[in-house]
Amino acid sequence: MKLIINGESRELPDDLSVEGLIAHLGVRKETVVAEVNRKIVQVGQRESWKLSDGDQVELIQFVGGG
């Protein structure tokens, strides 16, 4: 399936949960927040939240700021 991740189109395996996507991309899961189609995925929902073709995913983390 095709997902838009952080604004970029990417080809990914089907049947992926948000948890699975984070693992697939090699992103540290402890420090990331996910949003799918502008809805926040709470940490407890990651495993059960299945992604579908065309979903827009944002993966956000803390960076330095004032």
Which C-beta is closer to another protein: that of 8 or that of 14? 8
Given the complex with another protein, which of 42 and 52 has the nearer CB atom? 42
Asked whether 60 and 32 are in contact (CB, 8 A), the reply is yes
14 counts as binding another protein under rule CB under 8 A: no
Interface with another protein (CB under 8 A), residue total: 27
Answer for which of 23, 37, 40, 52 binds another protein (CB under 8 A) is 40
**Which residues, in sequence order, are CB contacts of 3 under 8 Å at separation 6+?**
9, 10, 12, 21, 51, 53, 54, 55, 56, 57
Is 13 a binder of another protein (CB under 8 A)? Answer: no
